[in-house]
């Protein structure tokens, strides 16, 4: 039987929420009264997550489990789930129940109206630190100012996408993926549904500051060349400013008694310029590092095991 809805759930050390997530998702998906599958992508968990979901897999034929050989990251996990999904509509949702599964019903309604992408837009975020909320808000606005692609603000990866959008995304090979940006890049008819983001059901965030920063840099470099242009503009401005200073110095030397004094000023100027140059080199380095990743062309993820998937027709032949 062909599947109408595929739900993709990335999980990384989520033993505290896995069972509850399954129960809530099943309730919502069963209410839609159409064939569905739940694809859990285990992103190299080191706790009992894998065992818990394997167990569920054995009891419920709707559930599938993809296990990575190690931790490849949230965006890679989502991509794997989409690659392996077979539904006409694919829903991506976090395991921690911060995004209420009940919103899926609204998303499906919009999809049936003819939209190809229905993204969840966070109206409010409960139970997250002031720091996380402030940085997230700032980041989404910064990103939308930087990019040419129109990426809606305050949207996460919680969304429904149509099969044709999913196929476009699977055909993109880029490595440092910012999936929500790629969805915007794909185009098609898009709309949002607003919802209140809940607290994490249990456990802790799997996005420590380091991962969050890396994520932000991935997003910016994937969708904008403006930081590189900025390097050029800053350089231009500074060299013009130095010319002005040069003329002032010459003027002082020739037409007045004062001489420009001291090694301190030289040191300050030198430190300032070296600092600026190093920052710019760092920005260029971020882009080069990503080009390097593309050139190596290593796989986005490595699958250790798949459970609960029906063998495809072409696999049956052998």
Query: Interface residues with ligand UDP (CB under 6 A)?
Result: 10-12, 14, 43, 71, 73-74, 77, 94-96, 98, 205-207
Instruction: Identify residues 33-72 at the interface with Mg ion (CB under 5 A).
Output: none
12 binds, among Mg ion, ligand UDP, none (CB under 5 to 8 A by kind): ligand UDP
199 or 294, CB closer to Mg ion? 199
114 or 127, CB closer to Mg ion? 127
Interface with Mg ion, residue 157, by CB under 5 A: no
10 binds, among ligand UDP, Mg ion, none (CB under 5 to 8 A by kind): ligand UDP
Q: Which of 26, 45, 86, 98 binds Mg ion (CB under 5 A)?
A: 98
Interface with Mg ion, residue 96, by CB under 5 A: yes
95 or 151, CB closer to Mg ion? 95
42 binds, among Mg ion, ligand UDP, none (CB under 5 to 8 A by kind): none
Least distance from Mg ion to the Cβ atom of residue 293, Å = 26
139 or 309, CB closer to Mg ion? 139
Both tokens of 82, joined, read: 């989409």
Least distance from ligand UDP to the Cβ atom of residue 82, Å = 13
Interacting residues toward Mg ion by CB under 5 A: 94, 96, 98
């Amino acid at each position: 039987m062909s599947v109408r809805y595929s739900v993709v759930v990335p999980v990384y050390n989520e033993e505290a929420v896995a069972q509850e997530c399954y129960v809530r998702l099943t309730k919502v998906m069963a209410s839609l009264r159409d064939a569905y599958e739940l694809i859990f992508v285990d992103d190299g968990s080191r706790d009992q997550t894998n065992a818990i979901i394997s167990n569920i897999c054995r009891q419920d034929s709707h559930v599938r489990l993809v296990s990575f050989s190690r931790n490849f990251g949230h965006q890679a996990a989502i991509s794997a789930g989409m690659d392996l999904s077979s539904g006409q509509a694919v829903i991506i949702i976090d395991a921690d129940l911060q995004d209420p599964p009940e919103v899926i019903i609204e998303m499906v309604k919009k999809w049936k109206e003819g939209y190809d992408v229905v993204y969840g837009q966070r109206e409010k975020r409960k139970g997250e630190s002031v720091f996380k909320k402030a940085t997230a808000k700032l980041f989404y606005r910064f990103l939308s100012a930087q990019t040419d692609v129109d990426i809606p603000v305050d949207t996460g990866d919680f969304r429904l996408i149509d099969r044709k959008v999913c196929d476009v995304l699977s055909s993109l090979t880029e490595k440092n993926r910012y999936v929500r940006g790629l969805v915007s890049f794909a185009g098609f008819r898009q709309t949002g549904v607003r919802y209140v983001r809940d607290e994490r059901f249990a456990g802790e965030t799997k996005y420590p500051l380091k991962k969050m920063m890396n994520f932000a840099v991935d997003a910016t470099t994937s969708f904008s060349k403006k930081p590189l242009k900025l390097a050029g503009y800053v350089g231009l401005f500074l060299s013009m400013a130095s010319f002005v200073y040069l003329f002032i110095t010459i003027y002082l030397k020739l037409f007045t008694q004062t001489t420009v004094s001291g090694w301190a000023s030289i040191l300050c100027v030198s430190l300032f310029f070296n600092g600026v140059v190093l920052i710019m080199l760092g920005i260029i380095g971020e882009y080069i590092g990503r080009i390097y990743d593309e050139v190596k062309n290593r796989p986005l993820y490595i699958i250790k095991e798949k459970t609960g998937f029906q063998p495809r027709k072409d696999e049956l032949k052998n």
